[in-house]
């Protein structure tokens, strides 16, 4: 009775159902805890995650579960540094989505407690905003500027060097 052949069903906020293997589900600490508490027979409601985001998260969990299984099979040795680099490249491509979806992936990874996905996706945003101006940051994060022009000018003058390009 291989546990890897068992699957569970999760339900998104849009009501769509997604199937995932136990190994993929183990990528998420939250799902693992819920399964421990309530058992595997019921569908797991994840009403904080919409279907578009859920599909991406499923893809991530499956990829990382397969990678882990391959590592175990080879006795841990064969994957090596090359395998880890390949996975990192896959993660980078995987996160090349528009900002709305990327932010939702971050929120989902945070809620579902998938640490590696949370780290990668936050790093992707950090890499993207490095070097940007405050105006660009407001655009990206949909933030309203609640400083008066005088207040903002004062903040800028206090650390002018920080606003210069590298």
Partner 1 sequence: MDSHVPFLPRDIITNILKRLPVKFPIRFRCVCKDWKNLLKTPSFISAHLHHSQNQNPFLLFTRFNGDHTLFDLLDCSMQQLVEVQNVPVIEWVRDRLVSSCNGLLCFRIDPSLTSPPSFLLWNPAASEVRQVPGPLTDFDGLFFVGFGFNPILYDYQIVINYGTHFSREVKRVEVYSLSVGSWKEIEFDENLLEGISLRLESITVNGVIFWLASKQMMKGDDGDDDAHMIVSFNIAMEVFALIQIPVSDSPRLTVYEGKPALLVSTASENFKSFIDLWVMEEETGLSSKGMWTWNKKYTSDVFPCILSPLTIWRSQIVCNVVKPDELFPGTNREGMKDEPATFLYLFNLTTNELKMFPTGRLFPDDDIFNYCESLEPLDNRQVEEP
Closest approach of partner 1 to the CB of residue 94, in Å: 18
CB within 8 A of 20, min separation 6: which ones? 7, 8, 9, 10, 58, 61, 62
CB within 8 A of 112, min separation 6: which ones? 28, 29, 30, 31, 46, 49, 57
Closest approach of partner 1 to the CB of residue 66, in Å: 27
**Angle between the N-to-C axes of helices 51-73 and 115-129, in degrees from 0 to 180, rounded to the nearest 10:** 120
CB nearer to partner 1: give 38 or 163: 163
CB within 8 A of 144, min separation 6: which ones? 138
Query: CA separation (Å) from 62 to 7, 15, 80, 147, 155?
Result: 12, 21, 20, 45, 46
CB nearer to partner 1: give 94 or 103: 103
156 is an interface residue for partner 1 by CB under 8 A = yes
Q: Binding partner 1 by CB under 8 A: which of 15, 22, 142, 150?
A: 142
Q: Binding partner 1 by CB under 8 A: which of 22, 35, 49, 118?
A: 118
163 is an interface residue for partner 1 by CB under 8 A = yes
Six-digit token string for 118:
């949370």
Q: Which of residues 76-115 bind partner 1 (CB under 8 A)?
A: 99-100, 103-104, 106-107, 110
126 is an interface residue for partner 1 by CB under 8 A = yes
Which residues form the interface with partner 1 (CB under 8 A)? Answer: 99-100, 103-104, 106-107, 110, 118, 122-123, 125-126, 129-131, 134, 137-147, 152, 155-156, 159, 161-163
């Amino acid at each position: 009775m291989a546990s890897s052949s068992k699957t569970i069903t999760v339900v998104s906020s849009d009501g769509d159902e997604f199937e995932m293997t136990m190994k993929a589900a183990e990528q998420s600490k939250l799902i693992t805890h819920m399964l421990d508490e309530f058992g595997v027979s019921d569908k797991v409601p994840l009403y904080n995650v919409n279907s578009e985001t859920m599909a991406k998260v499923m893809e991530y969990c499956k990829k990382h579960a397969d990678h882990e299984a391959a590592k175990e099979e080879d006795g841990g040795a064969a994957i090596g540094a090359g395998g880890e680099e390949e996975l990192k490249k896959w993660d980078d491509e995987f996160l090349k989505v528009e900002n709305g979806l990327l932010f939702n992936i971050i929120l989902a990874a945070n809620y579902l407690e998938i640490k590696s996905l949370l780290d990668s996706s936050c790093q992707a945003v950090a890499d993207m905003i490095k070097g940007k101006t405050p105006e660009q940051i407001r655009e990206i994060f949909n933030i309203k500027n609640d400083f008066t022009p005088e207040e903002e000018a004062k903040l800028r003058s206090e650390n002018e060097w920080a606003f210069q390009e590298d």
